[in-house]
Amino acid sequence: MLKSRWLSLNFFAFFFTWGIFLPYWTGWLVSAKGLTVFQAGTVMGTGMFIRAFSTLFLFPAAARRFPIAGVMKAGVVLSFLIALLYMPAGSYTAILIVTAAFNIVYPNLLPAMETSASVLIQKDRINYSRSRAYGSAGYMVAVLIVGAVTALFGNEAILWAMFAGLLLMLGTQYTAVPASLGRGEPGKPPEKRSGAFRELVRNRGFLTVLAVSVLLQGAHASYYNYGFVYLEDLGVASFTIGLVLNVAILFEILFFGTADRLFGNTPASRMFLLAAAGSTLRWVLIFLMPTVWMFTLTQALHAASFGIAHVAFIRYISEKLPTRLIAPAQALYAAFAMSLSTAFLTLLGGALYEIQPGLSFLSMVICTVPAALIVFSTKKRFSY
């Protein structure tokens, strides 16, 4: 099916770049740019604050004025141009400014991709999990490639890998775009962003699901930003780090490939509880047993901590919300679950990492336990 192929290809290309930016960027700032772990964490945390507001306001504004495909194409070009500025940036201040600019544009590609997927789920009944598995595959390929090139050429190669990834994504933008992702109904004025947000804010069921998602996705802050540095501190070689990080993605792909079959009739509330339990176990084990083998074994829990929570949210908005509210819902999810909560917790994790690396991971249970309590207390009231 052409629509599924388009979505799968674009998921692969975007998450190829995400697989460079998310696990390796902090390490690149430390090793290639000479920042301390705390400085790099501050830069990344600041970038996440900025991307939270960017995805909350810039993406919905662009999505209601232009086709999603046009938003994505412009975002890739601007991201590439801004990334070039990392080359001359040598001081902490210059790196902070470039990272801020990059986070104004690049992270908006994520809600654009997910909005495209949610619209295609509603209008064309595509299999989201199967297409999203290609995104995980792109992430895994990127982690493997970066692990290999850093082993050969050093961590300076991380930036060049990002350049290559953005060019790959730009190429995918010129494939045939599904008609479902056009401008909408002819003659119908676009939905005002403020009105859509107001409607979502009044939806207590959606707010509850969003709050749970914010906590569960934010709990990955230390893993995303300090996992690479943590493995380096344990003495793991660059290529081996790529293999270890890919264990999580392998289980994520296996989950996405079987999610519809395993959880097709499972309510979102039960999926969120499974995600909270898996996430809590993951961070506690890393703290209790700070070894490469335990870190590697707990990678299998990524299918629960991230995968189950993410599919639960996507399923909820696809089934419970009208099409006109999907882009604003994705904007809120990207802003708060994928950015703002992670930004706060990145700063916390960075401070604790300086004291003891294990504390950085253990601190994430301040999100996972409350998430489970919220689900227990609201699942019957809002029937999700």
Q: What is the pLDDT of residues 66-75, one digit of tens each?
A: 888 788 889 9
More confident residue, 83 or 261: 83
What is the average pLDDT across 4-25? 88
Give the amino acid at 180.
Answer: S
Quote the pLDDT of residue 371: 96
Q: What is the pTM of this model?
A: 0.76
Q: How many CB atoms sit inside 10 A of residue 188's CB?
A: 9
Confidence of residue 100 (pLDDT cuts 50, 70, 90): very high
Task: State the average pLDDT over residues 90-100.
Answer: 94
Higher pLDDT: 82 or 42? It is 82
> What is the structure's pLDDT at 187?
33
Confidence at 188, pLDDT banded by 50, 70, 90: very low
> Do the beta carbons of residue 272 and residue 212 sit within 8 Å?
yes
Name the token pair of 146.
């970066």
In sequence order, which residues have a C-beta less than 8 Å from that of residue 179 and are 6 or more positions away? none
pLDDT, tens digit (0-9, with 9 covering 90-100), for 239-250: 788 789 889 988
Q: How confident is the model at residue 184 (pLDDT cuts 50, 70, 90)?
A: very low
DSSP assignment of 163-207 = HHHHHHHHHHTTSPPPGGGSS-STTPPPPPHHHHHHHHHH-HHHH
Residue 189: band (very low, low, confident or very high) from pLDDT cuts 50, 70, 90: very low
* Contact status, residue 99 vs residue 26, Cβ threshold 8 Å: no
Helices 128-153 and 2-31, interaxial angle, to 10°? 30
Q: How many CB atoms lie within 10 A of CB 230?
A: 24
Lowest-pLDDT range of 119-133, 332-346, 369-383: 119-133
Which is more confident, 131 or 367?
Answer: 367
- DSSP-assigned states of every residue in 23-88: HHHHHHHHHTT---HHHHHHHHHHHHHHHHHIIIIIHHHHHHHS-HHHHHHHHHHHHHHHHGGGTT
